[in-house]
Structures are given as structure tokens and as C-alpha cells.
Structure 1
Amino acid sequence: MTRTTPRTWVRAHAPERPQEDPVRRDAGPSAWRAGVRRALRGVLRPEPWRRGPVLAALALLLGLVMLLHASITDRGGLGSLVETFLPWFGLFVPPLLVGALWRRSAAAVVALLLPTTVWLGLFGVLLTDKSHGAGDLTLVSHNVGADNPDPAGTARDLAASGADVLALEELAEPAKGTYEKELAKTYPHHAVLGTVGLWSRLPLSDTRPVDIKQDAGPLGATKSVEEKMGYQRALRTTVATDHGPLTVYVAHLGSVRVMPRGGFWTGSRDMGARALGEALAADRSERIVLLGDLNGTTDDRALDSVTSRLRSVQETAGGGFGFTWPASFPVARIDQILVRGVSSESSWVLPATGSDHLPVAAGISW
């Protein structure tokens, strides 16, 4: 039998001590600092900066495209196409970030700061609601669609919108009588020239056409519906308000076409924008409103001659991007309300009608 000393016996039969929790032992400011140091050592190692070179290059390219979009050639309409869908470029950032984290690429994560910063600089302001109230006058503009299967229903919806001044574009000849009949009770004053018209609760005067020099479209292309309807697609009139005269333009610029060989064709739209810009530059009216389907966004360089003289109500008093086309899944705001000499109080998009565009509305004040 082996003899056990008292000390040995005590160690053998003593209750087992719980092991000390290393996390608890290191808890406190010192542990936090140690964690930061470990993270910095991990980032400063060369390996994370060597991973994901393709992801980093794509992130930088994305940022440069958004930053330098105005320098992209417009040959074949490329620049116009990029600027039309520029807000959607931000959707590439999340998948690139996921890829960078998966690859543990510090270089790609840092490179993504460029497109993120540029996108927020361009469009961050649109993410907030900038409306101030209803305004003194409510404006509505709608491309009602030449192929609209229910013009009477569309007219009733627009009459119920509360608009004081209502602009319609792409008025097909067979449907003009329907709109005039359905809107007559709400709007005692109206003017129609070619394929555009204005309905108003307030008196109108000095209505005249505006020559925006629309042509027949690209050679060899099938004519669009509105081209078949005719080329008188803009008017100017004066609305009599309690605060004085308000000059109102209604315009429908030419279609943008995708050609198999010619690329993104914008000739008719661009020509119309320049002509409309010249008319606005020559107009000495104190207060001007432009309502219409411009077939382009306010980011599109083709509309510079117009947007440099008027400001968008959506950008100054709206919330979000206010996309209007196509109505089933809007991806671009090509229907605009632009103003000068009045204050933009609110801007919003109305529910869908039978058209392939959504109506746009705005409240303005003096």
C-alpha cells in the first residue's frame, strides 16, 4: 500500500477549481485596445491588400464612370444612355462589397469608398423628403399614351387629382374629344395644339405653338406612334392667377430609339431640347412653368439648354427619385415639371392610369 502524505492527499481530494475565463480576465479597456491592435495588424499585413485586385479595379471603374459621366462620349448616344440610368449605378456597390468581404480584400473595401461617396454626392439629397406644403397652385402633367385603352378613365382620374393646371401629352386624335368631354366640368378653360394640351381652372390667354423642330426620326426606322401623330408637340400659354400671369409651356420631345446599327438614337429629342431651350432663353416672363414628357432625365446632358434655365420641382421639393417610366416598373424620370420665378413646395408621382407613363404633380407658390 502506497503511503500518501497529507499535502498530496489534500491536492488529490480538493474540489476542482473552474478554469478562469480568458475573456473575462482580459475584459476592460486593455482588452479592447488589444483587439484593436490585432485588427490593425491583420489589416496592415500585405495579404489583405493583395487579395481581390479585380474587385478593387471594378470599384474604381464604377466610381470614375459616375464621377466623370459628363466626359463620356455621346457617340451612339452612349453618354446620354449612361446619364439616363445613372442613379441605378449605385446598385453595383452592395454586390462588390459582399465580394470584397468574402475575399477579405482590404484594397477592394477601400476602393468602394469612391463610388459610394460619388453616388451620395450626386443623389443623396434625393433620399430625403423636401416638401414644404401644398402650395398655392397644383400642377399635374401626364403623357396619356396614344394607345391608352381607357382615355375616359384616365381623364376622370386626373380630374380627381386636385390639379389646378393639367397638361396632357401624346393626345391621339380619336381621344381628344373624350378628354375634352370628361375634363370640361372640372376645367372650364383649355387649349389643345397638335398632340399637347392644357386644361385649367383659371383663364388662359395668348396660346400659341412652340416650334421644337421635331423631325421624322432616324432614316430607315419604323415610325413611333407619336411620330405618326404629327410634329406639333409644344405650346405656350398664359394662366391668369391672383398673383399675376404665369407662363406655362407644355412640351413632348422626340422619342429616344435603340437602333440595331446606330446605337442609342436621340437626334429628334436633342434637336427639340435645343429649340425649347432657345424659346425659354428668349422668354422674358417673370414666372415660367414647363410641363411635359422630355424623354430624358435632368441628369442627361441633352437637356442642359432647358435645365440650366429652369429647376426641377422633384429635386427641390420632392422625396425620392420620382421615376415615371415605364409605368409597370419605373426606372427613369422622363416626365418633368420645371419652374422659374416661383417656389417649389412639393412634388410627387400619381398612381398609374391606362398610360405607359405615370403622372407627375407639384405644388408651387409665390
Structure 2
Amino acid sequence: MVEQVDSGTTAPVRAGVARRAGRRVVRWARWGDATGDARGGSPWTRGRVLAALAVLTAGLLAFHRVVPNSVGHVGSLLEEFLPWLGVVVVVLLGLALLRRSALALVALLLPVAAWTYLFGELFLPGAEPGPRDLVVVQHNVSDENADPEGTARTLAGAEPDLIALEELVPTALPVYEQTLAPDYPYHAVRGTVGLWSKHPLADARPLDIKPRGIAEGWNRGLRTTVRTPHGEIAAYVAHLPSVRVRASGLASSWRDESAGLLGEAIAAEKRDRVILLGDLNGTVDDRGLTPLTSRMNVAERGFAFSFPAGFPLARIDQVMARSATVGDIRALPATGSDHLPVAARVAWG
């Protein structure tokens, strides 16, 4: 025998569930509703401003070299923070979803593709270390560093072959020399820059990269030869002049002039194998460093933002090489400096 169940109490519940499900279907259907909705416009007409901003962002990524540098070095300023345009893309994506704009979502494919083309390769895994590779560390130790001994121990803890330092001051230099001496018996210091090495050094000399207008006594360049087990390498350590962000734009004229002088010195270098380590006060995308990036290979993997140490926004501490590949680059733990150290692997061909 079949019993008949009283549906008097369940019918209203079922009706409420059906109404809620119907509303969900209607909401999702609006994405494809070409006739529009109560808020006005269809998914293919809403979000035109967002779509325009997406196209503009893609243009800045793909054609950042077109942005003029004649007034306030605006082009260089953009290039200093170029990877952060990815954050703009994420914000636009959230707004497009909130606005339910299919037009904006499609337009966002352009900046996503441009950003991936420029920076996606940096996320790929690096090649396996080879027996001829050098591990190098670059660090602006800061002339206000209150813990030079701890800084030296942090750098040595990465077990590099070479350690390049900038902003060496007379009071801290003996501390670095004493702390690094057991593992790095060879070093050369000229002015405020120095290089510590596990391998013998030779022919160390100051490098004149001083721009016009800077007072005498400014010495931030060093050139030496590193005698590795696999051959001799010309090593350059440099600290280019600082840049300033002002209301009028980016003040980088001295930095650019110094980069040009350094580029000329590297171009005149007779050795094929060259490595450059330094605080260059610019990213590898900044056209102000073109005299260097056009002649040398830059890091292929890793972002390694190094400045400022409290909240790194850009990598202005660089490792570059000629006749070699700079593999993965990474930031090391913070020291007493306002920069983070960076470590890189250099593979010689």
C-alpha cells in the first residue's frame, strides 16, 4: 500500500528554493544577454572605460620605449616599476568581474599577454649548476650600516665565489676585511667599492665613471682580474649615482652619464669574459642603463627586488656578464643595509 504524504508544509519551501535558483540562473544569464539588463548595457557594451584602461596598460607594457624621456625622464620612471603594471592588470580584472563586463575581460587578454612576454620567463626554473659556474653576491652595504660584521657573515653564508660591496666607509672596512678573510683571502678596494674573492686577483685599478659636475674624490668604480680555475675573468664593480623621484619627474642625468662611461670601459675591455656587479641605481628595463644592457647579458630567472629593504619595489643591484649567462638571481636575507643583497649564478660558455 502506498501512503500519501501531506505536502502542505513542503510546498512553500520548494517554491522558495525554485525562486532562488531561478534568480541565480537569471543573474548568470545576464553575462550572455545581448539585450542588456536593468543596470543598463550588455556584457559587450558595459565596462568600456575598463577596456580602454586595459588597452592602455598593454600599450605601456609593449611600447614603453616609445614613452618620451625628454621631459622629466618619464620613460625611465615608468621602466623602473614596469613589472608592477601587473598589479594594475589584477585590479582591472577584479573590476571587470564586478562590472560583469565581457568586453573588459577580453581586452585584459592584451596586457596579460604583454606582461607574460616581458616577465613570464623569470618564473621558469633555472638550469642545473655546471662545474664552471661562479656564484656571486652583490650588495650595497650602506654607509650607515650599524652591523658590518653581521652583514659580512650573511653574505659569506651564501658561499659565493665573489662578493662585491658598495658604500664601504673607512670605519667599517677593517671589519669586512677581518670577517671575510678566512673564506675570501683575496680582495681589492678602490674608493668606496670592493671585491672579495676565493680566487686570486690581479691588476686591480680604479675605474673613472665620475660624471661632470661631481666633486673630485668621488671614486665608485673598480676593475680587476679574477684568476679562476677555468680561466681569467675581468671583473667590474660599480656604484652609479643615485636617482631621485621629484614632482618634475626622475632626476637621473648623472646616473645616465656614469652608465655611459661604464659602458665605454666595458666595450674597450680586451678580455672576452667580463662580469659586472654593482648598485646601478636602475632596473634592467630602464633605458638609462642601455649602454650596459646592450653589451651584456642580464639575469634570466628571478625578480630579486632589492630596494628598499623594508618593502622591495625594484632590483637596482645588478649582476651582468659578457660571454656568459647570468642564470637565476635571488635576494638574500636582510642585513643592516637599506638594500637587500642579491646572489646570482654565472655560467661561462
TM-score range, shorter chain: 0.7 to 0.9
Superposed displacement of residue 44, structure 1: 8.1
Q: Which of 122, 129, 140 is the aligned partner of 1:126?
A: 122
Q: Residue 106 of structure 2 corresponds to which residue in structure 1?
A: 110
State whether structure 2 residue 76 is matched by structure 1 residue 76.
no
Q: Unaligned 5+ residue runs, structure 2? A: 12-28
State whether structure 2 residue 144 is matched by structure 1 residue 153.
no
Q: Residue 224 of structure 2 corresponds to which residue in structure 1?
A: 237
Superposed displacement of residue 162, structure 1: 0.8
Superposed displacement of residue 255, structure 1: 0.1
From the CA coordinates, give the structure whose radius of gyration is larger.
1
Q: Residue 270 of structure 1 corresponds to which residue in structure 2?
A: 256
Report the structure, 1 or 2, having the larger helix content: 1
State whether structure 2 residue 317 is matched by structure 1 residue 331.
no
CA distance in 2, matches of 1:197, 1:14: 93
Q: Residue 61 of structure 2 corresponds to which residue in structure 1?
A: 66
Q: Residue 295 of structure 1 corresponds to which residue in structure 2?
A: 281
Taking structure 2 as the reference length, the TM-score comes to 0.85
Matches within 5 A, 1:35-114: 42-43=33-34, 47-74=42-69, 75-114=71-110
Instruction: Using the aligned pairs only, state the percent identity.
Output: 51
> What code does the residue aligned with 1:205 have?
A
Q: Residue 194 of structure 2 corresponds to which residue in structure 1?
A: 197
Superposed displacement of residue 118, structure 1: 0.8
Q: Equivalent residue of 1:116, what SS?
A: helix
Deviation per CA, 1:184-238, whole angstroms, max 9, x where unpaired?
A: 2221111100010011111111111111123557xxxxxxxxx9x9521011100
> What code does the residue aligned with 1:73 have?
P
Mean Cα deviation higher: 190-199 or 98-107: 98-107
Matches within 5 A, 1:215-254: 215=212, 230-254=217-241
Structure 1 residues 230 and 80, CA, compared in 2 at 3 Å: closer, same or farther? farther
Taking structure 1 as the reference length, the TM-score comes to 0.81
Q: Residue 35 of structure 1 corresponds to which residue in structure 2?
A: none
Q: Unaligned 5+ residue runs, structure 1? A: 1-12, 20-37, 218-226
State whether structure 2 residue 164 is matched by structure 1 residue 167.
yes
Structure 1 residues 170 and 40, CA, compared in 2 at 3 Å: closer, same or farther? closer
CA distance in 2, matches of 1:211, 1:265: 22
CA distance in 2, matches of 1:253, 1:344: 21
CA RMSD of aligned residues (A): 2.6
Q: Equivalent residue of 1:186, what SS?
A: coil
Deviation per CA, 1:237-282, whole angstroms, max 9, x where unpaired?
A: 001112211110000000011335x431001110111111111111
Q: Residue 22 of structure 1 corresponds to which residue in structure 2?
A: none
Q: Residue 307 of structure 1 corresponds to which residue in structure 2?
A: 293
CA distance in 2, matches of 1:239, 1:117: 42
CA distance in 2, matches of 1:243, 1:148: 35
> What code does the residue aligned with 1:70 have?
R
CA distance in 2, matches of 1:41, 1:250: 59
Superposed displacement of residue 72, structure 1: 0.7
